[in-house]
Amino acid sequence: MSKSAAAPVNLAEKLSQFNELWSQKKVAVLNDYEVKLAKLKGEFVWHTHEDTDELFLVISGRLTLQLRDGTVVLEPGELFVVPSGIEHCPVADEETAILLFEPAGTINTGDAGGPMTKPAEILS
């Protein structure tokens, strides 16, 4: 997106454009960081991002971040930063919409790999 074409991003409108679960959609870029949306339901994979923190902001639903030393439960409007090197596993018992903020190119499954690994898609 060129700087002259910049426009506000309406998160509700962007979320209405897709239904896939556990598929990150890039909606903005800030310096070397990507702002992504995702819809979640069920349990993801345990993984670690050794070199970066990861910000989760719940837009709707409820997200549980399992950590090896406890859990963090996020309601709409709440955010949590998983520090780099901390193993975590997101779980959503109901469909949950989140915003992620992380460095460009961050792999969604971190060090775990596997069939749930997907690059973020750009939403226009």
Ordered by where they begin, the domains of the chain are 19-114 (2.60.120.10)
Q: Rounded distance, CA 45 to CA 58, Å?
A: 19
Q: In this predicted structure, what is the pLDDT of residue 74? A: 98
**pLDDT above 80 (res 42):** yes
**pLDDT above 70 (res 45):** yes
Nearest CA to 106 out of 40, 33, 41, 47 is that of 33
pTM of the entire predicted model? 0.91
Q: In this predicted structure, what is the pLDDT of residue 121? A: 86
For residues 70-92, average pLDDT: 98
**pLDDT above 70 (res 82):** yes
Distances (CA, A) of 27 to 37, 51, 58, 86: 7, 23, 16, 26
Distances (CA, A) of 91 to 73, 88, 103: 9, 10, 22
Share of the chain above pLDDT 70, in %: 96
**pLDDT above 80 (res 4):** no
